[in-house]
Structure 1
Amino acid sequence: MEKSFTSLAELQTEIQLLKVKNFQQEEVIKERLHSPSAIFHTITSLFKSGSSNNQSLTKTLLNQDLFTNLARVGIPLVMNGFLFKKSGFVAKMLITFLSQKAAKQVTSNTVTGIVDKFQGILKKFIPITKKKAAPRDYGIPPDSESY
């Protein structure tokens, strides 16, 4: 976004334009933060979901299944606690952000699908053999001499 200026007048008009934009942005911020209720509304608007039905963050979290909620907590803990233990703050923040995005894709259907595929692979490599039942002993047979 580099602009080239041919004269001093163009540079001064650009500076004045940027000062006006800065002033307008300051007025918008002051308007948003003029009372405690406006501050509260601004903060709660940050937690709105980006979906088209405009559900809040808490509603979307409560509508997710158990596996998704566990993944949203467990994946960042495992990644930051064990795999990237000595990484810096920025790396841990990026890992947490990416794992949160990935955890949204984890649902109970995907988990059961993965478990079923794993069982199918195990059945191919490890054949399940049934043990032959040993003959049961019911005591003295009726044809024996002690009968």
Structure 2
Amino acid sequence: MKKIRRYNIRNLEDLHATVASLKAEYTMQEEVLFNDTKVYFRQFTLGGLIKKYATPSAFLKMDDKLNLSSSVMSYILPFIMNTTLFRGSGFLTKTLVGLASNKVGKTLDAEHLSAIFNSVKSWFTGSKKKKEKEGADVDYGIPPDSETY
């Protein structure tokens, strides 16, 4: 049901004042509605979606809800295994490798993938640091010719 407004208009001046106040109210509501519409449509632009969903924390939250990385890995891992490591294998071997890597891919999530990446990265970057540390003497600040040495 529509609410009917009652105006107390007794003369022409009251009528003009009421019309002016209604026009002002109309323009204010129009501006508010227009601004709200702009804000609403701005959140669905490409830039708004990128700002909202392309951050690393948003990806991890989305991955926790949807388990997106494990779904992708369950399809990519069998393909990679069969095209690289088991290229010349027979049909039965490729099928078994595909099933096994599919199961392994489903258990992987973003945290497991980052841990695997960090461990593989440490294999290549960790060897230089260990060689440098082995040859260096430890300096405790005591001169070698002192009596406490």
Instruction: Please give the TM-score of this superposition, normalised by the length of structure 1.
Output: 0.36
Larger radius of gyration: 2
The structure where helix makes up a greater share of residues is 2
Give the structure, 1 or 2, with the largest relative contact order (CA under 8 Å, sep 6 or more): 2
Instruction: Please give the TM-score of this superposition, normalised by the length of structure 2.
Output: 0.36
